[in-house]
Structure 1
Amino acid sequence: MADAPSVPFLHNLGRPRVRTVLERAEWFVWLSARPLEQHRFAHHFLGGGADAVETALAAYVRPDGGYAYALEADVRGPSSQPLAAAAALNVLDEIGRCDAARTARLRSHLPSLTSPDGGLPTLHPGIAGYPSSAVLTVRPNPPGSLLATGVIVGRLHRNGIEDPWLDAATEFCWQAVDGLTSSHPYEVEAALAFLDGVPDRGRAAKSAQRLGELVRDQRLVVTDPARAEEFPVHPAYAAGEYHYVTDVLRSPRSLAREWFTEQEVARCLDHLAAVQQEDGGWPVLWRLWAPGSAAEWRPIVTLDALRTLRAHGRL
């Protein structure tokens, strides 16, 4: 058999070479993404309607009002999980559909997932017996965590939703954020989701300033991609699982904008654009532990990269 010709990946699929960031990403999404991410891409970049995104999201709803079925790709199986609920609210928020009516069933379900401290655990014990990433620990009586609680509370507040459950969950988030003496990037991102959405803007700004000082002091975020190896990687993370300014600062309207200089933001945006791969998608830096999660994460990460670049005027 003759050696295969050395041609670009896209030519192998019969399509002429495409050159723009968005065109390359579009081809990758149609090739690789599950229906939800395809409809999200169409909504954000091709003028597609929000109804199609909602319909795709509905496939992940449980009869109890929660979300499951690997909507959050590292948490698999049919058990309603807080991280899946956070992922669902992120989708509804980004398409402008995170309102009281659409979140009513989920909000009625959240108390059943909540720990006694008022927060939602990273993993609810119902996940036992189903696959999930080994970095997410299953406990019989788990405490509340910012990872899901911060995102859910922040998104509900940002959309003006009131609910009795929110009172204790909001207080949990305030105590958790203000009590941080050490952290890791995923927790920082969840804390920011809370601070960017909570109604008390004055208190949020003060807490964000303190959180930003912690991020800088502990060098949790890479501010110079050319020197990434000089920044520490959390012991539970994969080798090379760096978090850059653009992972924290998805939008220039975030309170985290004050944490970084113009130069730091610019060079991390340059880096984000530069690491788009030949097939049009972006790489996943964390540990990929199962074929399903590996296949599903790259389109999700690709959408995040595109939306971040566009929010900063780079697309």
Structure 2
Amino acid sequence: MIERARNFIWHTARTLEQRWFEHAFDGGAPEHVVQAVLAYRNDDGGYGYALEPDHRGPTSQPLHALRALQMFGEVNAPEHAESILTWLENTCPDGTVPFGMSTSKDHPKAPWVAADDQGGLLLTAQIAAALLALNITHPWLAKATDYCWQQIDELHETHPYELRAAVMFLDEVPDRARAELAGDKLKQLKPSTDGYADGEGLALHHYAAKPGSLARGWFTDDEFDKDLDELQQGQQEDGGWNFGFPAFTPVTEFEWRSIATVDALLTLRRYGRIS
């Protein structure tokens, strides 16, 4: 399985995903992953240039900042989050992060990527989770954490991606007792898929990406084993995995498939399906 995925990655992936795969499965140096991420950094401390495939163009955007932080988390490089925190302080001083900023209005992006500067739980929770996973403390993160708690406490209607973002935050936040209570509440929500493409959605392992996730307790062992079976059987003939949403332009299909492939392998490894 890994060998077939390796062949797919070397055939189709960007340098970043090649370095990520190499680090995760072939003993590659973590600094090589960092160097690949830094190629996307702007002078303002943010990240652009389609680091996150659905947001094209050079301008610094929250989706790219999130992807950079997640990659730094993969290789335990918290020191490289400093420029992103500076950028967040300057662009999102109240601690809430929009899905997209109006600075990208003249550049290509997926139709579901807004550029309205409106902060929300979806990106704020994920960025806060990524920073917390790096064991970072910072005044901006404190504001973002307070905002996420408030939004989760008031959450009554949601959609799958926002629900996953909330779980990501709860899995990393230090107040475990409060997180457990909030997780029990989120378990009762029934996320709406209005506006989603046919067949688009999230699998169980997208909510519980690791065994210690609060969301793992939302599902029975049989349900989750079936989900992992489907993930394991999802490897395509070319060695890669598919992703569960539309590709808005042809190049993003290979970019997202490479990300989905490494993600799938790491999830299977975390759950003991591969070594």
**Is the Cα–Cα contact under 8 Å of residues 126 and 168 in structure 2 kept in the other structure?**
yes
**Is the Cα–Cα contact under 8 Å of residues 19 and 36 in structure 2 kept in the other structure?**
yes
TM-score, normalised to structure 2, is 0.96
Give the drift of 1:50. 0.3
Q: Higher Cα Rg: structure 1 or 2?
A: 1
C-alpha distance after superposition, 1:193-233 (max 9, x if no partner):
2111111111111111111121xxx2x4xxxxxxxxxxxx7
Give the drift of 1:153. 0.9
1:93 is matched with 73
Give the drift of 1:115. 6.6
2:149 partner amino acid: W
Question: Is 2:227 aligned against 1:302?
Answer: no
Count of aligned pairs between the two proteins: 274
1:105 is matched with 83
1:183 is matched with 158
2:197 is matched with 238
The CA distance in 1 between the partners of 2:121 and 2:55, in whole Å, is 17
2:2 is matched with 22
C-alpha distance after superposition, 1:110-134 (max 9, x if no partner):
0232175x31001011111011110
Give the drift of 1:304. 0.8
Give the drift of 1:295. 2.1
Residue identity (%): 42
Give the drift of 1:53. 0.4
Give the superposed CA RMSD: 1.3
Question: Which of 114, 117, 124 in structure 2 is aligned with 1:137?
Answer: 114
**Is the Cα–Cα contact under 8 Å of residues 115 and 143 in structure 1 kept in the other structure?**
no
2:251 partner amino acid: G
TM-score, normalised to structure 1, is 0.84
Give the drift of 1:306. 0.6
Question: Which of 203, 228, 233 in structure 2 is aligned with 1:269?
Answer: 228
Gaps of 5+ in 2: none
What pairs with 1:7-86 in structure 2 (closer than 5 Å)?
A: 21-86=1-66
Question: Is 2:254 aligned against 1:311?
Answer: no
**Is the Cα–Cα contact under 8 Å of residues 115 and 144 in structure 1 kept in the other structure?**
no
Question: Which of 131, 134, 145 in structure 2 is aligned with 1:170?
Answer: 145
The CA distance in 2 between the partners of 1:181 and 1:115, in whole Å, is 26
Question: Is 2:84 aligned against 1:125?
Answer: no
**Is the Cα–Cα contact under 8 Å of residues 128 and 145 in structure 2 kept in the other structure?**
yes
Give the drift of 1:235. 2.3
1:14 is matched with none
C-alpha distance after superposition, 1:142-177 (max 9, x if no partner):
321222211111122232211111122111111112
Moved more, 154-163 or 198-207: 154-163
2:82 partner amino acid: A
1:106 partner amino acid: I
Q: Return structure 1 stretches of 4+ with deviation > 3 angstroms.
A: none
2:178 is matched with 203
